[in-house]
Amino acid sequence: MSLSFYVHIPYCIKRCGYCDFNTYTPSELQVGATLEIVSNDYIDAVLKELDAAPLGLVPTIFFGGGTPSLLPADDLGRVIAAIKERNGLADGCEITLEANPDSVTAEKLKRYIEVGFNRISFGMQSAKAHVLAVLDRTHNPENVKKSVDMARAAGFKSISVDLIYGTPGESIDDWCDTVTKALELDIDHISAYALIVETGTKLAAQIKRGDLTMPNDDLMADMYLLVDQLCEAHGFTWYELSNWSKPQHECAHNIAYWRNKEWWGLGPGAHSHIDGKRFWNVKHPTAYKQRLFSGESVVADSETLTQIEIDVERIMLGIRMREGLEISTFSTQQMELLGGYQDDSYLELLNGRVVLTPTGRLIADRIVREITI
pLDDT of residue 37: 59
pLDDT value at 45 more than 70: yes
Average pLDDT score over the chain: 92
Whether 252 and 155 share a structural domain: yes
Long-range contacts of residues 73-77, Cβ cutoff 8 Å, at least 24 apart: 73/108, 73/111, 73/112, 73/114, 73/115, 73/117, 74/111, 74/115, 75/39, 75/43, 76/7, 76/9, 76/43, 76/112, 76/115, 76/117, 77/114, 77/115, 77/116
- Whether 134 and 250 map to the same domain: the answer is yes
Same domain, 358 and 216: no
Tell me, yes or no, whether 41 and 104 share the same domain.
yes
User: Does the residue 275 lie in any domain?
Assistant: no
Residue 43 in any domain: the answer is yes
Burial letters 18-28, b for 16+ CB under 10 A, else e:
bbebbbbebee
Query: Is 231 a member of any domain?
Result: yes
122 and 17, same structural domain? yes
* 363 located within any domain: yes
- Total domains in the fold of the chain: 2
**Full domain range(s) for residue 207:** 4-258
Confidence tier at 293 by pLDDT (50, 70, 90)? very high
Given a cut of 90, whether residue 199 has pLDDT beyond it is: no
Does some domain include residue 295?
no
* pLDDT at position 32: 61
pLDDT at residue 249, as a whole number = 98
Question: pLDDT tens-digit profile of 47-64?
Answer: 999 999 999 999 999 999
Same domain, 92 and 31: yes
Reported confidence tier of residue 205, pLDDT bands at 50, 70, 90: confident
- Is 297 among the domain residues? no
Query: Each residue of 215-270: pLDDT tens digit?
Result: 889 999 999 999 999 999 999 999 999 999 999 999 999 999 999 999 999 999 99
The predicted pLDDT at position 34 comes to: 64
As beta bridge partners, residue 265 has 6
Secondary structure letter of residue 142 according to DSSP: T
Query: Domain of 11: which CATH number?
Result: 3.20.20.70
